[in-house]
């Protein structure tokens, strides 16, 4: 009976796992757990980046739509500034920003005001604002209302483009012949450097 008993005991031991084998299995599972957690962490981080990038894209697109709406409504209407001096329909100055008159200012409540609006784009602390006046010919105490358009703007410049395709950082051009068809204002070019998309360029034709 003793030989059979020994053979039975040896067979039972051969069906189990040794300590080293168990440690190897636990090590493999631990490694798989670390890899899985890293993958999940990266997926979550990527999702957060995509969500943030998507929200930023919506903000940029909204600002572009507002700017485009203004550009397509440019008017030849001159105004008077706070000092009573006549200001041209569109001005582009040394700061690369612009002020202009535009049509189509909606008046759904039939307020006592014109449907023509004077607008200026300006930057402050890296943010882009749209300023507008409730009157065209301004009094000394006339103050613009500010509309926030876009944050984290590194740089923005506007250029006047004539019929020959030349770009001007100042407009109107001093001494230019207003009857020269090649020097006629034909478009507005905007270059804006905005995080995280870099430089964005838009060109709008000036309404005839």
Q: Is the pLDDT of residue 50 over 70?
A: no
Alpha-carbon span 188 to 100, nearest angstrom: 12
Residue 186 maps to a domain: yes
Residue 104 maps to a domain: yes
Query: Number of folded domains in the chain?
Result: 1
Residue 40 maps to a domain: no
Residue 187 maps to a domain: yes
Residue 42 maps to a domain: no
Mean pLDDT over the full length of the chain: 84
Residue 146 maps to a domain: yes
Give the count of alpha carbons within 13 A of 158, CB side only: 24
Of 21-25, 147-151, 174-178, the poorest mean pLDDT is in 21-25
Binned at pLDDT 50, 70 and 90, residue 49 comes out as low
> Residue 150 is part of which domain span?
67-205
**pLDDT at position 45, please?**
66
Alpha-carbon span 168 to 175, nearest angstrom: 14
Average pLDDT over residues 9-32: 68
pTM to 2 decimal places: 0.73
Task: Phi first, then psi: give them for residue 196, nearest 5 degrees.
Answer: -100, 20
């Amino acid at each position: 009976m003793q030989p059979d008993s020994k053979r039975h005991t040896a067979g039972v031991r051969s069906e189990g796992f040794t300590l080293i084998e168990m440690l190897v299995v636990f090590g493999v599972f631990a490694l798989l757990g670390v890899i899985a957690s890293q993958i999940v962490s990266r997926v979550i981080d990527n999702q957060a980046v995509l969500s943030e990038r998507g929200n930023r894209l919506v903000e940029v697109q909204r600002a572009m739509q507002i700017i485009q709406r203004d550009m397509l409504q440019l008017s030849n209407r001159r105004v008077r500034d706070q000092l009573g001096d006549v200001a041209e329909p569109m001005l582009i100055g040394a700061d690369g920003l612009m002020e202009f008159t535009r049509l189509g200012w909606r008046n759904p409540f039939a307020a006592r005001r014109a449907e023509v609006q004077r607008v200026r784009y300006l930057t402050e602390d890296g943010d882009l604002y749209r300023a507008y006046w409730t009157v065209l010919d301004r009094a000394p105490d006339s103050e613009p209302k500010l509309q926030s358009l876009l944050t984290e703007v590194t740089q923005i410049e506007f250029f006047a483009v004539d019929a020959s395709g030349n770009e001007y950082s100042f407009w109107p051009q001093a001494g230019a012949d207003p009857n020269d068809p090649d020097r006629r204002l034909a478009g507005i070019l905007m270059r804006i450097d905005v995080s995280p998309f870099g430089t964005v360029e838009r060109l709008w034709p000036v309404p005839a």
